[in-house]
A and B are shown apart, each in its own frame.
Chain A
Amino acid sequence: MKLLVLDSSGMVASVAIMTEDALIGEYTMNHKKTHSQTLLPMLDEVVKMTETDLETIDAIAIAKGPGSFTGLRIGSATAKGLGMALGKPIVSVPTIDAIAYNLFESDKVICPIMDARRSNVYTGTYEWKDGTFSVIEEQCARSIAETIEAINAICRPVIFLGDAVPLHKELILANISVPVSFAPPHLLRQRAGAVGSLAMEYYKAGIVESAREHGPDYLKKSQAEREREERNAN
């Protein structure tokens, strides 16, 4: 079983080719260059270096969101184009779940935080129970302050990761009431390898979609829609 994996949900662009047994190739960049210019050239590089024939992959895995709206769409449109052209299904994985999956078998509560601007984060809470990855609280968008409160309420040691850690580390340290740690740089952000590993589980469970059906999960309506709903409610 072979997956082609894409993650362009945040500042990181990451692509991989992997099987159940190995991460054959992964290319991860955390650099200010638009995904539109990096994602496909990076994929091409990995495909060439791993001598992969695109026809031999079984599915395309992607971090479906949340994340930057534009970044998500660049990834999704790339996956949809590849899926249509190659006749392969899409395995779409929640972004926050995939970030949490970096911390395999951690005994702590895992809390990814991804910058959603204006002191908001995309977050969720996860744990490993008897060797199984499980979701305590599903991915959502909320303020960093509410996130810290929710973690304090669980009353267990926590490990934070995600691109919002450098932004909110001081606030977390000042307000957290449980033992806290932070993931090191190589595990801190999105990685296609983690998306792919989690996608393997989805694929085995038969959770796939067609390239035509696939779309990002923004978690948030557009600003225009939210404002319109507010106006209508008043």
Chain B
Amino acid sequence: MEEQIKILAIESSCDETAAAVVVNGREVKSNVISSQIELHKLYGGVVPEIASRKHIEKINQVIEEALEEAGETLDSIDAVAVTYGPGLVGALLVGVAEAKAIAYAKKKPLVGVHHIEGHISANYIEHKDLEPPFMCLVASGGHSHLVKVIDYGKYEIIGRTRDDAAGEAFDKVARAIGLGYPGGPKIDKLAREGDKKAITFPQAKVNGAPNDFSFSGLKSAVLNYLNKCKMQNVEVNKADVAASFQESVVDVLSEHAINAALEHGLDKVAIAGGVASNSALRAKMAEKCEKHHLKFYYPSPVLCTDNAAMIGAAGYYDYKKGIRDGLDLNAVPNLKIGQR
């Protein structure tokens, strides 16, 4: 029988306090998430100091629940994995300090995990057949990247956003049309009632950089459109705005992901991050992948949002590679993909 490596994973990079137990990087025995979203809604976005305070309140409870649900203890696990970047530094530090203390007191190996590598690795959990190499589109509130997954734990950034992250654009447009925070799911829902061809917004492309994105111009175009309507006393059809904006975003995201895969000779494409749960993006990706005979992978919504199971998946492959971190592991808020 294959050796069983059980990893306790901890994630606190933004506004979710999460812990999970994952076996051999693929089998999730528990995945506990304590979301602070209701709290941050009062401020229209994540407040770093409040997020950090909430993490420290919840972290032990979340870890204890994850262990209990998995039927494991701190003695029976093999290693501790923790997100050490990128993210909000104060938030990251809670998970990092907690993980280090546990690993130290229980004499377990410690593995620092890259948050985005975690998002990408979320795809391994439900797709047992998925193995590198593949192209992955990572889009969330804080990140928009095209990443070539060369091997387990080996990544190359093919494209990135030049300004706002895709999820950030969703949040800003949602706020402008009065939908509130978080914008992604709200726009997705409202867009179903709208006409995606009603308004032509610019595409989030960058001249001369076919794999990169730029969402700030698109966001401004939406805001200008809303202003113009207001000045002219024209009633805005919010559902049409949502649908047309969303269409512009998912069109470019999917086009770039597919082109990058073809260009690099890859036959598999995955998506990851919060925006990967957007229904229009999933549909568009599925359609385009089928057309180009590419295999398409995506995680369940619960594995698209920030969670610790994905950190356990990525942490397992780092662990297998022999990566071990010391008691001086620090949070690195702007950690680059593939960097240690």
Interface residues of A (CB under 8 A from B): 34, 36-41, 43-44, 54, 69-70, 73-74, 76-86, 211-212, 215-216, 218, 222-225, 228
Known: A69-B52, A76-B56, A215-B56. A40 touches B105 (CB 8 A): no
Distance of A224 Cα from B94 Cα, bound (Å): 20
Residues from chain B with Cβ under 8 Å of A78 in the complex: 97-98, 100-101
- B221 interface contact, C-beta 8 A: no
**Interface size of B as a range:** 35 or more
Residues from chain A with Cβ under 8 Å of B74 in the complex: 84-85
A81 and B56 contact, CB distance less than 8 A: no
Residues from chain A with Cβ under 8 Å of B126 in the complex: none
Distance of A222 Cα from B59 Cα, bound (Å): 19
When C-beta atoms are compared, the residue in chain B nearest to A224 turns out to be B47
When C-beta atoms are compared, the residue in chain B nearest to A70 turns out to be B90
- B331 interface contact, C-beta 8 A: yes
How near does chain A come to B6, taking the closest CB pair, in angstroms?
A: 16
Interface centre among B42, B43, B53, B74 (most CB of A within 10 A): B53
A36 and B61 contact, CB distance less than 8 A: no
How near does chain A come to B55, taking the closest CB pair, in angstroms?
A: 8
Distance of A218 Cα from B57 Cα, bound (Å): 13
- B64 interface contact, C-beta 8 A: yes
Distance of A34 Cα from B53 Cα, bound (Å): 19
Q: Considering the complex, which residues of chain B in the window 209-262 have a beta carbon less than 8 Å from any beta carbon of chain A?
A: none
Known: A73-B52, A74-B97, A224-B49. A40 touches B60 (CB 8 A): no
Interface centre among A36, A218, A222, A228 (most CB of B within 10 A): A36
How near does chain B come to A46, taking the closest CB pair, in angstroms?
A: 12
How near does chain B come to A191, taking the closest CB pair, in angstroms?
A: 21
Q: B interface, by DSSP: helix, strand, loop or mixed?
A: helix
Residues from chain A with Cβ under 8 Å of B102 in the complex: 81-82, 84-85
Known: A77-B101, A84-B102, A85-B102. A223 touches B56 (CB 8 A): no
- B96 interface contact, C-beta 8 A: yes
A223 and B49 contact, CB distance less than 8 A: yes
- B81 interface contact, C-beta 8 A: no
When C-beta atoms are compared, the residue in chain B nearest to A210 turns out to be B60
Q: Considering the complex, which residues of chain B in the window 34-88 have a beta carbon less than 8 Å from any beta carbon of chain A?
A: 42-43, 47, 49-50, 52-53, 55-57, 59-61, 63-64, 74
When C-beta atoms are compared, the residue in chain A nearest to B52 turns out to be A73
Can you list 17 contacts pairing A with B, beta carbon distance less than 8 Å?
A36-B97, A37-B328, A40-B97, A40-B327, A41-B326, A41-B327, A69-B49, A69-B90, A70-B93, A73-B93, A77-B56, A80-B60, A83-B60, A84-B60, A85-B105, A222-B47, A225-B50
B97 and A73 contact, CB distance less than 8 A: yes
A76-B56, A224-B43 given; name 16 further pairs at CB < 8 Å: A36-B93, A43-B104, A44-B327, A69-B49, A69-B90, A70-B52, A73-B55, A77-B93, A79-B101, A85-B104, A211-B60, A218-B53, A222-B47, A222-B49, A222-B53, A228-B42
Distance of A228 Cα from B49 Cα, bound (Å): 14
Distance of A218 Cα from B90 Cα, bound (Å): 14
A81 and B97 contact, CB distance less than 8 A: yes
A80's partner among B42, B59, B328 (CB-CB below 8 A) is B59
- B106 interface contact, C-beta 8 A: yes
Distance of A38 Cα from B90 Cα, bound (Å): 16
Distance of A228 Cα from B47 Cα, bound (Å): 12
Distance of A229 Cα from B100 Cα, bound (Å): 36
Distance of A43 Cα from B328 Cα, bound (Å): 11
Distance of A36 Cα from B82 Cα, bound (Å): 14
- B20 interface contact, C-beta 8 A: no
When C-beta atoms are compared, the residue in chain B nearest to A38 turns out to be B328
B50 and A212 contact, CB distance less than 8 A: no
When C-beta atoms are compared, the residue in chain A nearest to B57 turns out to be A215
Known: A84-B74, A216-B56. A73 touches B100 (CB 8 A): no
Distance of A21 Cα from B104 Cα, bound (Å): 27
Residues from chain B with Cβ under 8 Å of A80 in the complex: 56, 59-60, 98, 101
How near does chain A come to B33, taking the closest CB pair, in angstroms?
A: 18
Distance of A43 Cα from B100 Cα, bound (Å): 12
Residues from chain A with Cβ under 8 Å of B59 in the complex: 77, 80
- B308 interface contact, C-beta 8 A: no
Residues from chain B with Cβ under 8 Å of A38 in the complex: 328
When C-beta atoms are compared, the residue in chain B nearest to A76 turns out to be B56
